[in-house]
Amino acid sequence: MKHLIHTLNKAFDHRVRLGVMAVLLANESVSFNDLKEALDLTDGNLASHVAALEKAGYVLVSKQFIGKKPNTTYNATAEGKTAFQQHLEALEKLLRP
């Protein structure tokens, strides 16, 4: 039988990604700057982890303009919400058996 750790999702193997998903599950749509400030991260650190979550299909990135200023917002996809919920359940089973 496979150990419980193999039910944990690789895509969430970093505290920044846990934080991003936690914020996006609590808020429908969040801008890059709000997410950066909420999580107290640098641009590069946030961008690389969000890109990984986008690649996994868990976060949807929308680029718009407000006047002439670019505005990037993020949403968790339905797949991302389900995957994160499953990850939390697996974590709980592993860590609080």
| Binding site residues, a second copy, CB under 8 A | 2-6, 8, 10, 13-16, 18-19, 22, 38-40, 88, 91, 94-96
Q: What backbone torsions phi and psi does residue 40 show, to the nearest 5 degrees?
A: 55, 60
Closer of 10 and 55 to a second copy (Cβ): 10
In the complex, the smallest distance separating the C-beta of residue 52 from a second copy, rounded to whole angstroms, is 13
In the complex, the smallest distance separating the C-beta of residue 11 from a second copy, rounded to whole angstroms, is 11
Closer of 18 and 60 to a second copy (Cβ): 18
CA angle (40, 42, 10) in 5-degree steps: 85
Closer of 79 and 89 to a second copy (Cβ): 89
In the complex, the smallest distance separating the C-beta of residue 40 from a second copy, rounded to whole angstroms, is 5
What does the DSSP assignment read for 36-59?
A: HHHHT--HHHHHHHHHHHHHTTSE
DSSP 67: T
The Cα–Cα gap between 29 and 72 comes to 10
